[in-house]
Amino acid sequence: MTDISQPNARFADLPSRAVIAASGPDWRDFLQGLLTQDVESLAPGEIRFAAMLTPQGRLLYDLFLLGREDGCLIDVAAGHRPALLHRLRMYRLRAKVELADSDATVAALWGTDAAPPGWSLDPRAPGLGWRGYPGERPAGAAAATEADCDAHRLALGLPGPADWGHDKAYPIEANFDLLGGIDFKKGCFVGQETTSRMKRRGVVKSRMAPVVIDGAPPEAGAALLAGGLRAGQVTSAGAGGAMALLRLDRLAEGELTLEDGRPWRVAWPPWMAGLTPP
């Protein structure tokens, strides 16, 4: 084990994630036309956050792309790997690209500003930490669970797969534009027209953001009210807090309460600065 000598370092395996390996002469061109992220400039060892959308622009799969010398690894929710692999193969046609399940595992490391060789800095927001494929636990990093990793992400105000679901949310509602998950300069990709139109309009009515609620965490789907108007709904909740999809134009309509009368407030993270309503 490599010793990173960081007292707050935590390590966790992420069994909810799985990996697809892409290779072959056309792998860059092939993925470039499908995903929200620029693949043409992806360097070996570099990691980028991305998504695959429906033609109507809704989120299907969140992805991490890890560049390799001979292609890339695609990090996706384990439960979605078979469907994503099937969809990619449908698009393949005559492209010279190989797509296959990989036995690489996914791990996370956080609480440290340095990591051993082979780890890649999570690109979404400062403080998230590192991802490894696979990642060996460094000496000095305490063992943690995937639930701990999710709580760390939520504490930094980032939504996750449980919040955007499957074929429900638009990537800008899920803050992919703020988290580096969309390259608006790369050209066409599946769902690009709707995504670019939302960006060009300059006004996003709904965003996911963490909320603080007194008492026990509410169930996902619980309505959030502002002066009696529906101002959003909880998308996930746990001991670490709650995430919600909010109607930004309604947050100033009055007192913020749940349907059961408990108060709530938005805990705007620093990386969303400038987007908070008055």
Condensed to tens digits (0 to 9), the pLDDT of residues 9-34 reads 999 999 999 999 999 999 999 999 99
In a domain, 169, yes or no: no
Q: Quickly state the pLDDT bin for 266 (edges 50, 70, 90).
A: very high
Q: Is the distance from CB of 41 to CB of 32 less than 8 angstroms?
A: no
Condensed to tens digits (0 to 9), the pLDDT of residues 119-176 reads 999 999 999 999 999 878 888 899 999 999 999 999 999 999 999 988 889 999 999 9
Residue 111: other Cβ atoms inside 10 A: 17
Q: Are residues 222 and 143 in the same domain?
A: no
**Over 90: is that where the pLDDT of 111 sits?**
yes
* Chain mean pLDDT for the chain: 91
Maximum separation of any 2 CA atoms in the chain, in Å:
59
The more confidently predicted of residues 28 and 238 is 28
Q: Quickly state the pLDDT bin for 278 (edges 50, 70, 90).
A: very low
Which residue from 211, 91, 229 is spatially nearest to 159, judged by alpha carbons?
Answer: 211
Which residue from 125, 135, 128 is spatially nearest to 113, judged by alpha carbons?
Answer: 128
Q: Are residues 36 and 135 in the same domain?
A: yes
Percent of the chain clearing pLDDT 90 (strictly above):
74
The pTM is what? 0.92
In a domain, 142, yes or no: yes
In a domain, 131, yes or no: yes
The CATH number of the domain holding residue 97 is 3.30.1360.120
pLDDT on residue 32: 97
Condensed to tens digits (0 to 9), the pLDDT of residues 29-65 reads 999 999 999 999 999 999 999 999 999 999 999 999 9
The CATH number of the domain holding residue 244 is 2.40.30
Residue range 269-275: average pLDDT?
81
Condensed to tens digits (0 to 9), the pLDDT of residues 55-98 reads 999 999 999 999 999 999 999 999 999 999 999 999 998 899 99
Q: How many domains does the chain have?
A: 2
Residue after which a domain boundary falls, among 98, 130, 161 = 161
pLDDT on residue 35: 97
Token representation of residue 181:
């998950």
Helix or strand holding residue 193 (H, E): helix 192-201
Q: Are residues 155 and 35 in the same domain?
A: yes
In a domain, 146, yes or no: yes
Q: Is the distance from CB of 128 to CB of 110 less than 8 angstroms?
A: yes
Residue ranges making up the domain that contains 78: 10-161
Q: What is the C-alpha to C-alpha distance for residues 62 and 162, in angstroms, rounded to an integer?
A: 11
**Over 70: is that where the pLDDT of 212 sits?**
yes
Token representation of residue 257:
């309460």
Q: Quickly state the pLDDT bin for 274 (edges 50, 70, 90).
A: low
